[in-house]
Amino acid sequence: MEPTPTSTVIESLTGELEIPKDGTLSRVLYKDDDVRLVLFGFDTDQELTEHTAALPAIVQVISGRAKIGLGDREVTAEPDTWIHMPAHQAHSVFALEPTVLLLTLLR
């Protein structure tokens, strides 16, 4: 008999990390064979310079406001913003205020 799968619940994403003063912090919240969930905290004016990921990804803004570069397009992202990025798309993040982003990497 196969084991019964269990649910994973994160009751408060914003409670999972404290935004560092003058810095950036990331924390892996969940990982399995299909998905990796990473929470990022950025203080104002902190950034991730342009880079790519080998996997498709989804970015959700939990709190704050950030400029997100998507190739030659830039989006000002606020809470409730949802972004899907295909694998290998160049992207960057610049926090306009203390910001928490949820990154979901899909396999």
CATH of the domain at 62: 2.60.120.10
Residue 3: pLDDT band with limits 50, 70, 90: confident
The structural domain count of the chain equals: 1
Q: Specify the pLDDT at position 32.
A: 94
Q: Is residue 15 part of a domain?
A: no
Q: Is residue 5 part of a domain?
A: no
Q: Which residues contact 6 (CB under 8 A, 6 or more apart)?
A: none
In one-letter notation, the amino acid at residue 92 is S
Residues 100 and 107: their CA atoms lie apart, in Å, by 23
Residue 18: pLDDT band with limits 50, 70, 90: very high
pLDDT beyond 80 at 98? yes
Q: Is residue 47 part of a domain?
A: yes
CB 59, CB 102: distance < 8 Å: yes
What does the pLDDT look like over 59-79, one tens digit per residue?
999 999 999 999 999 999 999
